[in-house]
Structure 1
């Protein structure tokens, strides 16, 4: 099976206790990134009501955008790690 068809399989998340822990850790990181991005956008939005704060508000929007860009990056990184964990497990099973 090709890498791209195999990478987002739900079974990879549930394969071992180690993969379940890894999945949970990435879910926590994803949620923290989501809240941080949203908070930056809320703060930036409030700051835009005041002309003197428009430059810092722009920075909050930029930082929030970076955090929103991290979300799919975290998801892809997690899925690649889970995929590799499964491949290592298969390799160790073959060596037994």
Structure 2
């Protein structure tokens, strides 16, 4: 099994490609939500009456910026574990 964050882990099987694609979609959605939150929050800061909601949008955007690397790590750990399970299954078959 290749180490974490190695491109070959993503292409090992149809299942690993689907897992990779799902995590990429989630990562892109988190990126988009973070960017939109910061953009809207920035515009709201021009109006004093909207500064509190703007702060909340910055907090929400920050949470989504935190989610992004968390998703990547979860994806890589999932792909790594999938490879380890495949290795164990191959060993079991060879012992039979």
Q: TM-score, structure 1 length as denominator?
A: 0.93
Q: Could you list the structure 1 runs, at least 4 aligned residues long, displaced by more than 6 angstroms after superposition.
A: none
> Which residue, out of 18, 23, 26, partners 2:23?
26
TM-aligned CA deviation for residue 43 of structure 1:
0.8
Matches within 5 A, 1:44-83: 44-83=41-80
- Residue 87 of structure 1: aligned partner: 84
TM-aligned CA deviation for residue 87 of structure 1:
0.3
> Which residue, out of 9, 12, 15, partners 1:15?
12
Could you tell me which runs of 5 or more consecutive residues in structure 2 were left unpaired when the two chains were aligned.
none
How many residue pairs end up in the alignment?
Answer: 93
TM-aligned CA deviation for residue 9 of structure 1:
1.3
Distance in 2, matches of 1:86 and 1:13, equals 10
Could you tell me which runs of 5 or more consecutive residues in structure 1 were left unpaired when the two chains were aligned.
none
Q: TM-score, structure 2 length as denominator?
A: 0.93
Distance in 2, matches of 1:35 and 1:6, equals 29
1:7 counterpart SS class: coil
1:6 counterpart SS class: coil
Distance in 1, matches of 2:29 and 2:5, equals 22
